[in-house]
A and B are shown apart, each in its own frame.
Chain A
C-alpha cells in the first residue's frame, strides 16, 4: 500500500514527472535561446513561472464556467500522469500490462479534447477558433501516429510498452529497422504537443492565445503543467518504443543510456521548433492525409512483411 502510494506520488508518478517536466521546459527554452543567439532562462525559471502563475488573480469572462475551467486541466493532468505510470523509466516498470500502449494513447488524447472544451467553455471568439483548430489538427496527426506506433508493437509481438522495450535487448533498437516510423512518430508527437511548427491552435498572431486566451492564474498554471508532463511522457514513450533497453553493462548503464536518449529527443524537438515555420491548418491537413498516412501504412506494411 505504501509502496503503491510511493509509485503513484513520487516515482514514477506525480513528483518525478513534474520535476522532469520542469527539466524538459528548461532545456527546451535554453536550447531554443542558444539557437537564436540569446542566453536563455536560468534553471529555476519554469518553477518560478509556475509559482508566479499560481499567485496571480483568476479572471473569468462573463458566461464562462468556473468549475469546468478548473476541472479540465486537472483531468488532463491526471490523465497524462497516469499514462506516464505505464512507461518504463530505465527498465523500472512497477505497473505494466498487456495492452497498456493502447491505454497510453487514449490517455494522451484526453488533453486534446479538454483543450477543445476549454476553448468552447471560454466564450471568447479567439478561444473558440483555437479550440476548433486543435480538433482539426488532431484529425490530421492522430491517425498517422496510431498507425506508426503499431510498428514497434507488431515487431515485438506485444502491446505492452515494457515488453516492446525489453524485446529490443535481443532484437536491437527498433529505430534501426523503422527509421521512417521514428520520424513519423516525432512529427505526430510535435502535433500532439502543439509545438512549433504545429502550434496552429495557439498561434499568437492569429488567435492570440487559442483556447487558453482567457485562462489566468492557477488554471493556466495547471495547463502549463499538463503541457510539460505531456511532453515528458511523450518523450519517454518514443524512447522506449524506438530505442528500448540497451545491452551495455557498466554502473548505472540503464539510467545513463535512458538519460542520453531522452536528451537526444529534446534536442530533436527543440531543433524542429527553431528551424521550421508554422504550417497553415489546410497545409497540415494535406500533409497529414496525403503524405504521413501513406508513409505510415508503408512502414507498417514493411514491418509486417519482415516478420512474416
Chain B
C-alpha cells in the first residue's frame, strides 16, 4: 500500500489547541510523524521581563487554562525565595488545596476527552458533569472557574470563611462519590481496555532518554513525583501516594490518571481537615534583591520548572518556564510508529496535551 501523509492540525476535532502534525500512514498502519509547535506562542518569557513581578503573576496565570494555579504557585515560590519571605501555613494549605482541586479538574477533563475520542460519549458527558462540581468549588472560593487569581507574592489572595470550608467539604464528598462511578467504568470497561491496552508501549529506558515527566513517566514504572520527592510546604507534611504502573502503554496512562484523581481528592480532605489558622499572606516588597532561583512543582501533567533571575529592580531580568507538555511531546514521534490510525486519538489523549503550556 502506498504511503500517504495526512495532516492533523492545526485545526482538527482531535485537538483542543492548535498543533500541526503530519502523519505518514500506509493503509491503517502509522509509519511515523513530525510535529510543529508554535501556533500559540505568545512570547510570555519575553513579556515577563517587561512587567513587574506583581503583573507577572497575572501574566503567568494565562500560560495555561487548566494548570494555571500551579504555574503561579511555582512563580510565587521563586520570587518568595529571592525575597526571603515565607508564606504563612494557612496560605500554604490553601495553595496546596487549590493545586489538588486543579489536578482533579484536569484529570476529569482529560478523561472526558479520551472517552470521546474512543467513542464512549456517555463517559465524556458524565466526566465533564463531575468536573463542573470541581469548578464550582474553585469558583466558590476564588471567584473564577479556571483563572482563579488565587496566588499573590507572599501568599494567597483570599481566606476561607467557615461557610466556605463547609461548602468545600460537602462538595468534595459529593465529588468523591460521583467520580467513583466514572472511575469504576474506566477501570473495568472492557471496550476501553481493548482500545488502550498494548497501544504504544514505552519502555522505562526510552522515558529516561527523552526526559519525560508526569503520569506518562509513571506509567512506565519511573517512580518520581515532585510532591513527594521535592516538596514545597505543606506537601512535606503530607504522605502522598505515588502511583506507578509497569506496562507503559495507553491503558497504564489511563489507569494512573484515574487513580491520581482519587488520591487528589483524598489529599484535599486531609488538607481541609488539618488547615491551620492564621493569616494567609505576608506583605512582599516590590523590588526583589539580586539573585537567581530554580523552583519545581508537580503540575497535573508533570514537572514544571521555573528559572528566575532578578537584577534588583521590580521587573525580572530573565524568566524561563519549562512546562511538562514540552517534555512529553518530544516522545510523540517515537510513539507514533507501529500503531494503527485508529490509535492516534488514544496516543494523543494519553499524552494529555496542553499546547498553550508547551508554546507559552
Contacts and interface: CB of A to CB of B under 8 A. Distances in A.
A230 B150 CA distance: 54
A281 B29 CA distance: 11
Nearest to A208: B13
Contact of A274 (B14, B122, B341, B343): B122
Question: Which of A32, A129, A197, A205 has the largest number of chain B CB atoms within 10 A?
Answer: A205
Contacts of B344: 206
Interface stretch (B37-45, B187-195, B302-310, B352-360): B187-195
B187 to A, nearest CB: 14
A206 B13 CA distance: 8
A31 B28 CA distance: 33
Interface in B309-343: 340-343
A282 interface: yes
A268 interface: no
Nearest to B195: A277
A275 B119 CA distance: 9
Size range of the interface on A? 20 to 34
Given A125-B6, A204-B13, A208-B13, A278 B125 contact: no
Interface string B284-299: 0000000000000000
A38 B121 CA distance: 12
B339 to A, nearest CB: 10
Contacts of A203: 119, 342
B342 A37 contact: no
A280 B6 contact: no
Contact of B118 (A36, A126, A129, A277): A277
B125 A37 contact: yes
A25 interface: no
Contacts of B121: 32, 36, 196, 274
A282 B340 contact: yes
Given A38-B125, A274-B122, A277-B119, A205 B345 contact: yes
A170 interface: no
A129 B26 CA distance: 11
Given A37-B129, A208-B12, A196 B341 contact: no
Contacts of A44: none
A252 interface: no
B238 interface: no
Contacts of A277: 115, 118-120, 189, 191-192, 194-195
B177 interface: no
A159 B214 CA distance: 62
A275 B120 CA distance: 7
Contacts of A274: 121-122
A199 interface: yes
Interface in A200-227: 200, 203-206, 208
A283 interface: yes
Nearest to A126: B6
Contacts of B129: 37
B4 A196 contact: no
B58 interface: no
A6 interface: no
Contact of A197 (B115, B117, B119, B345): B119
Contacts of A197: 119, 191
B116 interface: yes
Contact of B119 (A126, A129, A278): A278
6 contacts: A38-B125, A206-B341, A206-B345, A277-B194, A280-B343, A281-B28
